[in-house]
Chain A
Amino acid sequence: MTYDLLNPVGLSAALLPDLLLMGGAIILMLLAAWRPDSDAHQRTVGLASIGLLVATMAAVVWMSVRGDTAPDTGVIAMDGFRWMVDLVILLGAIGTIALAIEHNVRDGITQAESHVLVLFAASGMMILAGARDLMVVFLGIEIMSVAVYVLAGLNRRSARSAEASLKYFLLGAFATGFLLYGIALVYGATGQTQIVEIGNAIRRYDLARNPMLLVGIGLMLVGMAFKVAAVPFHMWAPDVYDGSPTPISAFMAATVKAAAFASFLRIWYEAFYTVFSGWAHAVWWLAVVTMVVGNVVALSQKNIKRMLAYSSIVHSGYLLVAVTAASVLASTAFTFYVVAYTLATFGAFAVVASMQQAGETDARISDYEGLWQVRPWLATAMAVYLLALLGFPVFGGVGFFAKWYIIQAAIAAPAGLTVLAVILVLTSVISAGYYLQVVRVMFMNPRPAGAADPLPIGALTRAVLAVTVVLILGLGLFPSRLVEITQGSGFRQYPYSPSGEFGLQSVDR
């Protein structure tokens, strides 16, 4: 059936999973305040939060199987893309809380509210995934961001954590300003905030060369590029990922990025596809600069969290290739990619979390020397995650097919982005330098004398490690089921052709 989004009942029905998560989060917040802070209590609240997330996941699956729709001109979308991104977000939130329950003990964090903040952030992201109105997009971004600002500063005893939180907040607020100003200008040019209506207005009133619109798109692009940490708006990411508690770093690197990109894609595909030639060059260059700079700078990192931060910047570059490709295929490639990327990132940060000594804040790559001799399985798992991030077949499992899909989308794009695809693969060779450096340190260097053994790994962290490794390797051999699922999650075909009326030409040359 089709939901009437102007009617409160219809709108609530369309937002069922989001409301479930938000309502549950509010109840859990009360539960968190019920008892004084303690390890046992934060564990209880954490497990309850995972339960809520699983229930929300079930609701999302149920909604997607029902296949209900909403009109394109509503404020919220009901399409495969939203459900797929929702699932990735919920998966990420479950992983975050599972890691955080055990990692909080090492960091000395006892506040049970920390898990509830993850739930609020996740609900903001879910709104972002479905938002079809720029005001709702803004709302989603703010719900997500405010929660994550706090999460970054959770470890109050650590100056780095406080720095991370403040830095993220100040720069984030600045970027939100850009985004909001961009939204205002786009509204000024088109008279619309509804995403599909903006696209229609641009076509109807022939606004493709309207300066106000183009400036608005440019400002929104800056805001989005900041949220996804694309170069040159990436400066905050290494500091923030490094200072935050490790599970939160994983959350930011994988899930926050996936949600921001989902909204980015939806706005650019559904509203701005008609001015493709107006922004394609900008995004093309943004992708190139992000891939090159991220990869080169990552090479010189000594701290593993900073290295993974630069690696996440690089992956933003790869995803920007999918944005530039601007096709249905590219949107399915995007959802496939974020699944693979989420698995690998969570796995890698789970290893970082389990390698951290109690109270330690600096996670150096040299701590991993000879890890294979003392923790063979942990080292092997880390190698799998790093090879997955590198996009290597079989050993990197599904990471290879994710990259494959993006390249395929780039080459098959209406604009024919073969050059961009070549740049993608060439820069990913650079990434072998730093991913393999960690593999080398773990497998080929001797364990230094007197190095402390890693602490025992808790059951939840083990579960995260096992599930991610199995999924990465399994989907790496047999990805067809996941391809099938993601193929149902693309945007619909938009009426443009390479030489069509909207001036979509090759941006490669």
Chain B
Amino acid sequence: MTQFLDGIGYNGWILPALLVLPLLGALLMVLQSSMQKQEPEAAMRSARSLAFGIFLAEAVLSLGLWWSVDTVSADWQAYVDAAWIPQWGARFTVGIDGIALMLILLTTLLMPLTVLGSWTSVRVKTHAYYALLLILTTGMLGVFMALDLVLFYVMWEVMLVPMYLIIGIWGGQRRLYASIKFFIYTMVGSLLMLVAIITLGLLAGKGGPPVFNYDVILEMARTMPVSGSFWLFGAFAVAFAVKVPMFPFHTWLPDAHVEAPTAGSVILAAIMLKMGTFGFVRFAVPLFPAVAMHPTVRTVMLVLAVIGIVYGALVALVQPDFKKLVAYSSVSHLGFVMLGIFAMTVESMQGALMVTISHGISTGALFLLIGMIYERRHTRQIEDFGGIAKVMPIFAVCLTIVSLSSIGVPGTNGFVGEFLVLVGSFPTQPYYTVIAATSVIFAAAYLLWAVQRIIYNPLVKPENEALKGNDLNWREIGLLTPLLIGILWLGVYPKPVLNKTEAAAERIVRGVEAGRMAPAPQAGRGR
């Protein structure tokens, strides 16, 4: 496989191709809709098959990365560097390591499933909808592979508009409120990051034209004195903390998740939140190790992470709306990721990445399942259900398995990540770890309780009895199968994923440890 990929020069073109293909697809989408005027029904059919085809091609194309990327090497893989805006030192530089590899594969593999998830639920303006999904994909992939800070920022912002429109046009009742809240929250954070990025670029340019290359900035920034880099770290941290979202910046998330159409929720939870944690792992922490590991800053971040874990779980417990419950459970899970990152051991870092991936799979699956039942019942209130297992047995099985994985039951993917985070964090941060561990119990409480009320309990409501014979169809089973396989595979044999991310995680931890020890006092313009 590797030889074949080398033979076609795979590493030389794959990353730009992954970025360009969805854009071409979006263009194709627009062309198709303007070339032939169709009835909404026919337009929906042609749009969704075209979108599915493009996303499938993208997924197949990206699979080669699994073999072609040498995750042990200290160099960036599939590295491509081209001129873009030479006067400003901005270049088109992309490359990945083991961590980015996992997130890219998660994105490309999940996207076809989201199309299947929107198959019948999105009925109006379908071409525009799928075109926006395609553009969104370019933005998300760009964030994971950008090694130039200008490119990174552009990609980071690009995602906002499609997501804003997806929530605002195809969303639920309170979609207008949710979409603007999502936009404004994210924008506040990212604009401060913009100032920080420009400042870093100018500092790295040392009086000449700015330089935005990641490696150059990394070299320059990690030796800056804390007084200078504190604000820069703060700007990056706020941008990423909003996206994660960390308590207390999380309030946009329940609204956006609940109001977004199914595919929007899946993408938000499975991928977009991960860009926040990825930002911490790739930028905020390695660039400013002395600040990030400064006892005060670290304590604040850990406390916020732990508050997020416990608070998210407690709030999830009392949600009457199942989708909102899952949204708050995301706050809790992402708290684990933050704990793992700021505990800063190789195990906790790997655990954080594992939670990142498994949360993407299980929460994505949960949102898809909610979408399926919502399409049939047009409600998400837990109390409206009851006894669904009797009328929709396949749905019930899937929901149970996915819920167990979200709780983190051994044998599912959720367990591996959380366990690694707890094990890895305990040596350095025992108290926080103990508090965080309690939330595993809460998770069991809120999810099992919800599952019980939905699929067990007596079947009394006539609307629910009417679901008989309306169990999951082949499309829905087909789209859940890969996710269920992923849940069990990563739960039983997570080694391949851990192997791929180990070297990258170790490099980051070592780099941060080195950087926090020896900050050169005279470097930079620290004011």
- Residues of A at the B interface (CB closer than 8 Å) are 387, 392-395, 400-401, 404, 407-408, 411-412, 416, 418, 421-422, 425-426, 428-429, 432-433, 436, 440, 443-444, 478-480, 483-484, 487
Q: Name the distance in Å between B190's Cβ and chain A's nearest Cβ.
A: 9
**Which of these, A394, A411, A483, A487, contacts B195 with CB under 8 Å?**
A411
Q: Does B488 contact A (CB under 8 A)?
A: no
B192 touches A483 (CB 8 A): no
**Residue count of chain B within 8 Å CB distance of chain A:** 34
B183-227 interface with A by 8 A CB criterion: 183-184, 187-188, 191-192, 194-195, 198-199, 201-202, 210
- B residues in contact with A443, CB < 8 Å: 165, 168-169
Select from chain B the residue with minimum beta-carbon distance to A476.
B154
**With a CB–CB cut-off of 8 A, which chain B residues contact A484?**
87
Q: Which residues B156-202 have CB closer than 8 A to chain A?
A: 157-158, 160-161, 164-165, 168-169, 175-176, 179-180, 183-184, 187-188, 191-192, 194-195, 198-199, 201-202
CA distance A418 to B84 in the complex (A): 26
Chain A proximity mask over B358-371: 1 for CB below 8 Å, otherwise 0: 00000000000000
- Are A483 and B191 touching (Cβ within 8 A)? no
A479 x B187 contact (CB < 8 A): no
> Which residues on the A side are within 8 Å of B202 (C-beta)?
408, 411-412
Determine if B153 is an interface residue (Cβ-Cβ < 8 Å): yes
Choose among A394, A426, A487 the residue that contacts B191 (Cβ–Cβ < 8 A): A426
Pick the contact of A432: B84, B184, B192, B201 (CB < 8 A): B184
Q: Which 8 A-B pairs have the closest CB atoms?
A: A425-B191, A393-B154, A444-B168, A480-B85, A483-B87, A393-B157, A395-B161, A394-B158
Which residues on B sit within 8 Å (CB–CB) of A400?
Answer: 154, 157
Chain A hits for B198, CB < 8 A: 404, 407-408, 411, 421
A393-B157, A400-B157, A411-B202 are known contacts; what are 19 more A-B pairs with Cβ within 8 Å? A392-B157, A393-B154, A411-B195, A418-B199, A422-B195, A426-B191, A426-B192, A428-B191, A429-B184, A429-B187, A429-B188, A432-B184, A436-B164, A440-B179, A443-B169, A479-B85, A480-B84, A480-B85, A483-B88
Which A residues are in CB contact (< 8 Å) with B84? 478, 480
Give Cα A23 to B376, complex, Å.
74
Residues of A within 8 A of B192 (CB): 422, 425-426
Q: List 12 A-B contacts (CB under 8 A).
A: A393-B157, A395-B161, A408-B88, A408-B198, A418-B199, A429-B191, A432-B184, A433-B180, A436-B180, A444-B168, A480-B87, A483-B85
A440 cross-chain contacts in B, Cβ below 8 A: 168, 176, 179-180
A433 to B183 CA separation, bound complex (whole angstroms): 9
Residue of A whose beta carbon sits closest to that of B185 = A429
Q: How far is the CA of A432 from the CA of B85 in the complex (A)?
A: 27
Contact check: which of A408, A444, A479, A487 meets B175 at CB < 8 Å?
A444
B194-A407 in contact (CB<8A): yes
Q: Are A411 and B154 in contact (CB under 8 A)?
A: no
Provide the B123-166 mask, 1 if CB < 8 A to any CB of A, else 0: 00000000000000000000000000000011001101100110
CB <8 Å contact, A444 and B191: no
At the interface, yes or no: B9 with Cβ under 8 Å from chain A?
no
Does B86 belong to the interface (CB within 8 Å)?
yes
Complex Cα spacing A428 to B169, Å: 24
Contacts of A418 in B (CB 8 A): 195, 199
Known: A394-B154, A412-B202. A426 touches B188 (CB 8 A): yes
Q: How far is the CA of A421 from the CA of B192 in the complex (A)?
A: 9
Residues of A within 8 A of B83 (CB): 480
B29 to chain A, nearest CB (A): 13
Bound-state Cα–Cα, A393 to B154, Å: 6
Of the residues B158, B176, B188, B195, contact of A393 by C-beta under 8 Å = B158
A418 CA to B86 CA, complexed, in Å: 24
**Residues in B507-527 with C-beta less than 8 Å from chain A:** 527
Residues of A within 8 A of B175 (CB): 444
Minimum CB–CB distance from A322 to chain B (whole Å) comes to 14
The answer to whether B86 and A432 touch across the interface, beta carbons within 8 angstroms, is no
Q: Contact partner of A411 among B164, B169, B199, CB < 8 A?
A: B199
Decide if A421 touches B184 in the complex (CB within 8 Å): no
- A394 / chain B contacts, CB cutoff of 8 Å: 154, 157-158
- Name which residue of chain A comes closest to B210, CB basis: A408
CB neighbours (8 Å) of A426 from chain B are 188, 191-192
Q: A179–B154 Cα gap in the complex (Å)?
A: 42
In the bound assembly, the distance between CA atoms of A285 and B469 in angstroms comes to 70
- Nearest residue (CB) in B for A396 is B161
